[in-house]
Amino acid sequence: MDHLPPVPDARARLELGAIKGLLQAQRRRIRSYTRDHRPDLEAAPDAPCPAPVASPSVSPTGQQVLDALPVPALLLTPVLGDDGEIVDALCASHNAAAVAYVSERLPESALSRWWGTASLYARFPSLRRTPVAGMINRAYRERASQGPEAVEWVAGDAPGPVRLVAEVRVSPCGDQLLLDWQPGNLHRMATAAQRLVRTCWAEWNLGDDGVEPSLGFRQLLGLADDAPLPTLSDVADAVTADSLPGFYQMLYDVILRKRTADCTLRMPRIDRITRLTAEPVRIAPGSLVWGVRAVLTDVTAEQRRRESARRAEREVLHQRRQARTIREVAEALREAVLPHFHDELAAYGLQATAVYRPDAREAGVGGDWYKARKLPDDRLLIALGDARGHGLSAVTLMAKLRYALAGLAYTEQPVEQLAYWLNETACADGIESTATAVIASYHPERQLLRWVCAGHPCPALVRDGRATSLPFPDGGPGLPLGVLPGTCYTAAETSLRIGDIVLMYSDGLTERRDSDPDLDTRRFLEAAESALRSSDPGTDREGLHAYAENLVARLDGPHRADDATLLALRRVEPPGGARRH
């Protein structure tokens, strides 16, 4: 058997040597056993021979010999034409096996045509188009047996034709011809079965390295039809180094432990993986193992599917761990940078609360952010934005814009200037750093909210049980941050009354697939009113938060494809009727 050059790996050489040593040791045991248990006749060649059986007085008839054949058979008398070639064959006789076969395979209406002297081709016209006609001619002319050869033909007319398949042999028998057949095509069926399930079998004789293989043995091992049959030692030479330990263990279990075992062999020359399951073959019960009988199955496709599945599983686990890590980092970052409102704004006549829902299909967090804090000039900065993307990159951009805005706000410049500077910051960070935002300042002494919109949904005002969108500044909303340098923004002003609630939200709360933005806005306003009717927001911050949770629950659902944030602000009477310093 063709095999690879000697394996340079020292451990592989040891494994290969162990396999061959095991096989050689068993051969010595078999030879020793043969010497110790040699038959008496061989040990004493001068022993008298048993008396011969008396010759029969009557020889069997030709029909008796025919009936003794275990396979269906017909005795044919050739019919020669003027040119000396066989033009037909008469069925002179048949045996019991033929009768049984025909009775089983053909309908009763066709059986009468079988018995008596008749033309073979009259019985089976389709036989003329099979190899049988040529086999009959060659057997008669060459006086040599022909076949076996696979033949298919049709017999019978009613209730329908019957397809017959057999391995046919034609042999000269005096002046006649003997046609016999093995029902079915065992050779073809065995070959097809082995091919379909990619399986073959073999038996190795450990005493002389003889091999008794099945039909598909060479094909499964990738050998030519005329290649020498491989010994177990040859098989060891042909497999990869990582297959040798398993191959040795299998042989050890079969030969020495006398039990069934299996192993997997990789054969690099033909790029194939074979599963070998073997059992011991003994001379007699309880004696030593004389041979190894094995079934070999090509499991290349199965193993590669499993390996591919394992790779995919490892990749999925890696991606899950990576996503979990990113989610944990992003959540920690978000937790660190986003405020948790208590009552710190009450001194300025405001209550604030926020509700956030992450996108569960991504890393669990997104780019939504919000901010509410006191500025040195006694104004309050209030903002809500949505940074582009998801996961850690979005949270990073969110934190960058949020901290940039906090720093810029200390310049005491109006919100339109803050939006201009924040846009320049985003533009300088690259084309991926885009975001939308609403940036507002609240002037407590005037109860005035001044705000700009950078590509973001317009805030809503809930007053006297009605929800309406705040009117956009002159010229409409501005471009999102980070799109175009030098963009100017215009502010709008809204005076707030006691009890007014301003709602700022990200588009993830309202957007639907292929939806209309105007329809999204109407849906939000209707939900804001219905949530107000179903839950009393009270006058404290806890009541405001319960209202915000109710509103988000009405809009949230499996349709959501982004994270969603709602920031609710309510004007209240400051303690003592005036803002504390």
pLDDT tens, position by position, 219-269: 888 888 889 999 999 999 999 999 999 999 999 999 999 999 999 999 888
Cβ–Cβ < 8 Å for 372, 346? no
- pLDDT at position 53 is 60
State the pLDDT confidence band at 559, using cuts at 50, 70 and 90: confident
Residue 492 C-beta-side C-alpha neighbours within 13 Å: 17
Rounded mean pLDDT of 491-516? 90
pLDDT tens, position by position, 276-317: 999 999 877 778 899 999 999 998 888 888 888 888 888 888
Q: SS3 of 490, please?
A: coil
Percentage of residues of the chain with pLDDT beyond 90? 43
Q: What is the pTM of this model?
A: 0.49
Question: In terms of DSSP H, where are the helices of 198-270?
Answer: 217-220, 232-238, 244-255
- pLDDT at position 515 is 75
Q: Is the Cα torsion angle 539, 541, 542, 548 positive or negative in sign?
A: positive
Q: Which two tokens stand for residue 169?
A: 């042999």
d(CA 460, CA 468): 5
* pLDDT greater than 70 at residue 47: no
Q: Which of 68-72, 166-170, 322-326 has the lowest mean pLDDT?
A: 322-326
Counting every residue written for the chain, the total comes to: 581
- pLDDT at position 43 is 47
* pLDDT greater than 70 at residue 188: no
Query: What would the DSSP string read from start to end of 455-488?
Result: S-PPPEEEETTEEEEPPPPTT--BPPBTSSTT--
Which pairs with CB-CB distance under 8 Å and at least 24 residues apart come from 216-225? Answer: 216/190, 216/191, 217/296, 219/194, 219/195, 220/194, 220/274, 220/296, 220/298, 221/1, 221/267, 221/270, 221/274, 221/296, 222/267, 222/269, 222/270, 222/272, 223/1, 223/2
pLDDT tens, position by position, 432-481: 778 999 999 999 999 999 999 999 999 999 999 999 999 988 888 899 99
CB-based contacts of 126: which residues, under 8 Å, 6+ apart?
153, 154, 155
State the pLDDT confidence band at 116, using cuts at 50, 70 and 90: low
- pLDDT at position 277 is 95
Q: Which two tokens stand for residue 157?
A: 């007319």
State the pLDDT confidence band at 4, using cuts at 50, 70 and 90: very low
HEC letters along 102-145:
HHHHCCHHHHCCCCCCCEHHHHCHHHHHCCHHHHHHHHHHHCCC
| CB-count exposure of residue 439 (10 Å: 0-12, 13-18, 19+) | buried
Q: Which two tokens stand for residue 463?
A: 């007053």
pLDDT tens, position by position, 189-223: 666 666 676 888 899 999 888 999 987 888 888 88
- pLDDT at position 38 is 65
d(CA 216, CA 224): 11
Q: SS3 of 154, please?
A: strand
- pLDDT at position 119 is 85
- pLDDT at position 581 is 42
- Higher pLDDT: 53 or 445? It is 445
Q: SS3 of 13, please?
A: helix
d(CA 483, CA 489): 13
- pLDDT at position 549 is 94
Question: In terms of DSSP H, where are the helices of 37-106?
Answer: 40-43, 62-68, 96-105
* pLDDT greater than 70 at residue 142: yes
- pLDDT at position 103 is 80
Q: Is the Cα torsion angle 503, 508, 512, 516 positive or negative in sign?
A: positive
CB-based contacts of 257: which residues, under 8 Å, 6+ apart?
none
CB-based contacts of 555: which residues, under 8 Å, 6+ apart?
509, 510, 523, 524, 527, 564
DSSP state of 576: G
- pLDDT at position 572 is 92
Q: SS3 of 208, please?
A: coil
d(CA 509, CA 434): 19
| Number of neighbouring beta carbons within 10 Å of residue 546 | 17
